[in-house]
Amino acid sequence: MTSMQLGLIGLGKMGGNMRERIRRAGHTVVGYDRNPELSDVEDLAALVGQLQAPRTVWVMVPAGAPTQSVVDELGGLLEAGDTVVDGGNSRWTDDEKHAAELGAKGIGFVDAGVSGGVWGLENGYALMVGGETEHVERLQPIFEALKPEGPYGYVHAGKVGAGHFSKMVHNGIEYAMMQAYAEGWELLEKVDSVENVREVFRSWQEGTVIRSWLLDLAVDALDEDPHLDKLRGYAEDSGEGRWTVEAAIDNAVPLPAITASLFARFASRQDDSPQMKMIAALRNQFGGHAVESAEK
């Protein structure tokens, strides 16, 4: 495999590990981060200056304004024939905008959804890529370095935006799968006859229809804290779950399980539920049903 030069912007938990994995594969990475202790260069101009044309620059910064700002700055620093990859969690609709802005200057654009979390450095990152074939092919050695060994873990999903769209749907599916195990676990924990829920989960890791990596992680979590007593039932959500539902609405696709999973997270973050106050108030109005005071 040919050794490549890559500019990499954003060296946080994800970006830092990716730099390491790409270097292990024999490529040259010039990394930039706002934190000078992590950065190989002083600024983006210096990063671009160290790369030979045609250059390839991978952007790995938070979605939204930070990514927009980097794309804008790269638009002024790079030249026709160069290529920018957005490997962050951008919304797919941003990709089309970025591709158009850079394309006007002859700069190629590729979007890459990246999965792997804390396990990626060792096991590889799953990559879902969107863009024109000529731009995607140029990146192939880097994609090979990042992806897991074996036949899976990489796809050129389609046009610009298709990479982030696929990663977004991946996360939507992830929400509903996690919710599936969580619902089942709560029900098992609630029933007296089932005395060993953790061992039930462990047993499912082979021979069942529902075996999966998430199930393995659930067993790991239960080994650390058998009834999850140490945790609060509180779950954040990232943009991808919300965007998945919005994309479904745009396309008139019903997503009942994924949406239920998103709403369960919203509800988990409320100290008290305003809508259930209204339910309590109405029950009291028509039936004289008792209500509980907020001060309780």
Q: Which of residues 220-239 bind its own copies (CB under 8 A)?
A: 220-222, 225, 228-237
**Under the criterion CB under 8 A, does residue 246 sit at the interface with its own copies?**
yes
Q: Please identify, among the stretches 18-26, 49-57, 74-82, 271-279, the one whose residues bind its own copies according to the rule CB under 8 A.
A: 271-279
Q: Which of 83, 64, 71 is nearest to 5 (CA)?
A: 83
**Under the criterion CB under 8 A, does residue 10 sit at the interface with its own copies?**
no
Structure tokens at 226: 């058998």
Residue 80 vs 279, nearer CB to its own copies: 279
Residues numbered 66-125 forming contacts with its own copies, rule: CB under 8 A: 92, 115-120, 123-125
Q: Between helices 213-224 and 162-190, what is the axis angle to 10°?
A: 50
Q: Could you give the CA distance from residue 98 to residue 119 in angstroms, rounded to a whole number?
A: 29
Distances (CA, A) of 198 to 164, 185, 225, 249: 35, 9, 10, 38
Is the dihedral angle over the CA atoms 255, 261, 265, 266 positive or is it negative?
A: positive
Q: Could you give the CA distance from residue 210 to residue 183 in angstroms, rounded to a whole number?
A: 14
Residues numbered 183-202 forming contacts with its own copies, rule: CB under 8 A: 183-196, 199-200, 202
Q: Could you give the CA distance from residue 207 to residue 42 in angstroms, rounded to a whole number?
A: 54
Q: Please identify, among the stretches 27-35, 46-54, 68-76, 208-216, the one whose residues bind its own copies according to the rule CB under 8 A.
A: 208-216
How many residues touch its own copies under the rule CB under 8 A: the total is 142
Identify any residues that bridge with 5 across adjacent strands, giving them in sequence order.
28
- Specify whether 167 is catalytic: yes
Residue 80 vs 276, nearer CB to its own copies: 276
Q: Could you give the CA distance from residue 202 to residue 223 in angstroms, rounded to a whole number?
A: 10
Q: Which of 251, 91, 279, 230 is nearest to 167 (CA)?
A: 91
Among 31, 67, 161, 240, binds its own copies (CB under 8 A): 161
Residue 134 vs 236, nearer CB to its own copies: 236
Cβ atoms within 10 A of the Cβ of 280, count?
A: 15
Among 10, 88, 204, 240, binds its own copies (CB under 8 A): 204
Choose the catalytic residue: 73, 96, 144, 174: 174
For the CA atoms of 97, 157, 6, 60, the dihedral, rounded to the nearest 10 degrees, stands at 60
**Under the criterion CB under 8 A, does residue 44 sit at the interface with its own copies?**
no
- Specify whether 240 is catalytic: no
Q: Please identify, among the stretches 36-44, 58-66, 70-78, 246-254, the one whose residues bind its own copies according to the rule CB under 8 A.
A: 246-254
Q: Could you give the CA distance from residue 137 to residue 164 in angstroms, rounded to a whole number?
A: 18
Choose the catalytic residue: 132, 167, 190, 277: 167
CB of 111 to its own copies, least distance (A): 10
**Under the criterion CB under 8 A, does residue 6 sit at the interface with its own copies?**
no
What residues act catalytically? 167, 174
